[in-house]
Structure formats: structure tokens, C-alpha cells
Homo-oligomer: A and B are copies of this chain.
Amino acid sequence: MNGSEIQIKNVNMIYKGKRGEDIVALNDVNLDIREGEFISLLGPSGCGKTTLLRIIADLLRPTTGSVTINGQSPKDIRLQRKYGIVFQNPVLYDWRTVRRNICLPMEIMKIPRKERTARIDKTLDLVGLKDFGYEYPFELSGGMQQRIGIARALALDPEILLMDEPFSALDEFTREKLNEDLLKIWRKTKKTIIFVTHNIPESVFLSDRVVVLSPHPGRVSAVVDIDLPRPRESSLREMPEFYEYVAKIRKSFEGV
């Protein structure tokens, strides 16, 4: 057994609605994620992707079932600060400038100032916001805000990176560029990445495996291994195998 294998076992999640009703978000979800794997979660809106991510990150306790990461509980892993999360909506602190928003988790992890500055510079550049470091979030466009959230998680360089539709507000080109950058980072750092997206080509391009969830209640409806060569570059997108995978996943999706 290796570093950060994630085992999701019989996870059920039932929310209590405001009016006392039960909202079943996840139903008996089972999934094993290997260490250093890049895995994508796909599924219609409201099927429980965010919920599953939050359970893995110990931001939510499953109603029943369990998640273990290399034999430890998500809580243990969280306490060891191994998670980095890109939230679905960027979750920025209004009172901090862009740079200081990116800096925040590093401050908490007591990363030395110099190192922090270097990382901020690097990730800001990566997400194309070099010139906006000293603005406040509300002065930025939606897509720019989203990129701050991405930069913040990347600057942290966590062992397990959970990304919830990180590129949804970005144009195709920025998105493709960031896809490649992300893969480079992943290759170098060997993180485990769980990546939620609605973009099927994106999931194929990035992942070792694509997990398709079906809604109401959320359950795993298909797991597709992506046996495409690595390192992957933008040329991959033109290859027929690529399209086969996209088609295959689209199909498994349609059954939903």
C-alpha cells in the first residue's frame, strides 16, 4: 500500500433539508483512487460531485460508509495538511488583495516569506494575472477570480489536490493552456488529483481514469480508464483515440 491511496467505501450522504426532508446526495459510492492518480469526476449538475469531494476533504462527514486514505481517516490527512482545494466558486476573502489571497494558506502553513513571494509570483504568472496582484477580488472579472482560486491551491503544492470545476469560467484557450500546465505540475510533483469537470474532452485529456456519476441519488455509473500515453500534449486532442474516449464517456453519460 502506498502514500495516498484513497478508498471510498459504501459512502452515503443524506442532507437534512430546511423543511426536515431528506435529500439523498450520494448513494453507496465505492471508489479506489491510487496514489498519484489523476482522476476526473463527471456527472450532471446536482449529482453529488461536490459532495463527494467535500467528504474526501473531511469538510463533510458521510451519513454512512467510510473514506480512508492510506489507512488513515480524511481527518488525519487534513490535519497533516495534505489537501489543497479549488472550490467551485472561488471563495476569496474580500479584504485581501489577489496576492494576499494566494498567500493565505501559505501563511498558515508557515512557509517562509521569501518562498511565499516566489510561489505567488510563479502561480500568478501561470494563471495569467501577473498584473493584477494588488487588486481586490471585487475588481476582477469572474474568470479572473476563479483563477485566483486556482493559483492559491497550486501555490500550496499539496499532496492531494481536489479541484471542483476549476476552469469552468475560462475561455477554451486559457483552459487548454492551464490543462497542460496542470499536467506538467502533476508530472513533476506526483500529486493525487481529483478533478471535477463538465468538460468531457478535458477529463479525457487530463485523467488516468474518468468516473461518471449518475444523479438522484448520486452513484457511480461508469469508470473509464484512459489509456493514452503520457506525457500528453495539446496534439493529443487531435488523435482519434482521444475522440474515441470522449465518445465513449459521452455515451456512458447518456445512459444516465
Contacts and interface: CB of A to CB of B under 8 A. Distances in A.
A153 to B, nearest CB: 17
A200 B175 CA distance: 13
Interface stretch (A17-25, A65-73, A118-126): A17-25
Contacts of A135: 17-18, 23
Interface in A146-182: 146-147, 165, 168-175
Interface string A18-38: 110001000000000000000
Oligomeric state, in copies? 2
B175 A143 contact: no
A169 B43 CA distance: 11
A172 B144 contact: no
Given A135-B17, A135-B18, A45 B169 contact: yes
A46 B173 contact: no
A253 to B, nearest CB: 6
A111 interface: no
A142 B172 contact: no
A11 interface: no
Interface of A: 15, 17-19, 23, 42-46, 49-51, 88-89, 134-136, 139-144, 146-147, 165, 168-175, 198-200, 250, 253-254, 256
